[in-house]
Amino acid sequence: MPFLTMSKGYNSDVEALRQKEYPHMNDGVYLDHSGATIYAKSTVDSFCAKMVTNLYGNPHSENFPAKLSGDVVDQVREKTLNFLGASPKEFDLVFVANATAAIKLVADSFRDLSEKTRDRRFWYGYHKDAHTSIVGVRELTYGQSHCFANDQEVERWLHSPETSFVNRYHPGGLGLFAYPGQSNMSGRRLPLSWPGILRESGYLQNTYTLLDAAALAMTFPMETVFQDVDQAPDFTCLSLYKIFGFPDIGALIVRKESGHILTLRKYFGGGTVSMVGTLGENWHRSKGLQTPTYKLHEGLEDGTLPFHSILALGEAIDVHKRLYGSMGRISDHTSYLISRLFRGMASLCHSNGQPVCRVYNENGDFEDSEKQGSAIAFNILRANGQHVPYSDVERSANAAGIYIRSGGVCNPGGIFTALGYEPWMTQRALSAGHHCGSNGISVIHRLPTGIVRASLGAMSTKQDVDTFIEFLRTTFVECDEDWSSTRTAVRSPNTGVLSLDLPFDYTTTTFPDVREIPRPRPLTHQFATAPESIPRISPLPMQDLMHGLAAVK
């Protein structure tokens, strides 16, 4: 049976849900769920209904509207923990703006506590696949940090910390090890066993673990992380809008046996202290240190909580459960789709047999949801092997109504490792004028400085995948080795035809020290049909699926 007709794990109910719950997705193909997934119409409707039928006040007050808000916050906190499979008896949840804010809360607490240590600093280790926000913690360690280059180095350190060189002057001192549950660049999933192994090490009893689950939690059943409290991370950060689309809020899940270390931070905000002295001696009493009178989160949530957003979160959880049933079902659905996308991209070759897509993934296994999430990182190659600038790929996709992401995607270690950069090469890129963002240089000396990322979510469909593969085929597959035609027709997913200028010397322009592939002129397009009448694309012929894939392992 051809691969693209197999549907094991695919949730066909999503196709009907798209029309009813996601009408705002009809204007294109959204493939940037790793950035933020899309909210359901019912979430907005139910949130609005509660907002116009109830009166909510500041939960720090004692009046009836304030008490209503406080009750909502308590209920949604417990509901969120249960949704994630984290027992409220073993874990607490601290509401924050996003995963980065959660990381900073942990980092600031360790920095403050480290001032009481012998050398007034803490050790910090992080994985090279970490998000920029994880990497940034190293700046608080006064040089005592270490980047683990791969999984094997982490494993060696965990099993033999006394013989591993990780830039640590006091191996038994205060430490923090952080890593992502899933690479936000490639979608590769990292081992969840590391926190438990570290906790069992007698040598590392003063080292804590921080799991960045922002990318992982979007399509993964998190009860796998929290079901065994002895194996769970000490701290886990999430951006909840990556799961529900709305509201824009994050969370820090704290293992209660470890959470006391956070209460020793210096800063305190409104609502986190029981008393403060301002005249004469300066002193304060953190609520986090006054258990059981107060709970851990009460000493960590500075100022007034975004109680309206927390109300919306409760509605989002209820709608999410009603629409999808479980995160396990979403995991199966997106695992099927990412495998379909990978195989479709693998089938794309130029007329000379050279691959169109270079996929970056150390696992090389898009079939196993324990190893691979719902994202794929790649670059586009010409028939002569040179790279099409990632910025041009995103620009062309935008013009065709397909929404992806390109560039460094806030993952410096993952990007430069995948692209084969050495430290001196990153310095050359910087000196040449490259920087992260839309105005960076896409290709320097024929080496890309970033990637293209397509990511799928719970409401993604087969049509989304097939439309994207067809876009890549129509736009970038060269049917003639000389590619003598200077104009290529690009068909949008809404059947509108675009005209794309592709110069004959598309990749040969040379600068004194920087070779950048010139970018096509900005495109304009109009959809020929209304979004509601988008025809379903026919399944693509998948012959020699694995032929021509240039996978970087």
Residue-wise pLDDT for 417-475, tens only, equals 999 988 888 888 888 888 887 678 899 888 999 999 999 999 999 999 999 999 999 99
Kindly report, residue by residue over 162-188, the tens digit of the pLDDT: 989 999 988 889 999 999 999 999 999
Cα 343 to its chain centre, rounded Å, is 22
Mean pLDDT of each 10-residue bin along the chain, 553 residues long = 53 96 96 98 98 96 96 98 98 98 98 94 97 97 96 97 91 95 97 97 96 98 97 98 98 96 91 88 86 90 96 98 96 97 97 96 85 96 96 96 96 93 86 80 90 98 98 94 42 40 34 33 35 37 37 37
Tokens of 476: 């970038």
Which residue carries 């950069």 as its tokens? 421
Is the N-terminal amide bond of 221 cis, ω within 30° of 0? no
The pLDDT, as a whole number, for residue 7 is 59
Tokens at residue 33, please? 């769920």
Of residues 510, 492, 490, 509, the one with CA closest to residue 500: 490
CB 341 within 8 A of CB 465: yes
Residue (of 141, 142, 144, 209) closest to 181 by Cα position? 209
Name the DSSP class of 185: T
Cis peptide before 292 (omega within 30 of 0): yes
Residue 107 near residue 113, CB atoms below 8 Å: no
Length, in residues, of the chain: 553
Q: Tens of pLDDT along 62-100?
A: 999 999 999 999 999 999 999 999 999 999 999 999 999
CA nearest to 482, candidates 502, 511, 510: 502
410 has catalytic annotation: yes
pLDDT value at residue 434: 86
| Active-site position among 349, 410, 436, 479 | 410
The pLDDT, as a whole number, for residue 44 is 98
Q: How far is 139 from 292, CA to CA, in rounded Å?
A: 35
Q: Which of 218, 250, 189 has the alpha carbon at shortest distance from 36?
A: 218
In this structure, what are the phi and psi dihedrals at residue 98, rounded to the nearest 5 degrees? -170, -175
Those residues with Cβ within 8 angstroms of residue 519's Cβ, 6 or more apart along the chain or in another chain: 389, 391, 392, 395, 442
Q: How far is Cα 483 from Cα 388, in angstroms, rounded to an integer?
A: 14
Q: Within 13 A of 206's CA, how many CA atoms are on the CB side?
A: 13
Predicted pLDDT of residue 509: 28
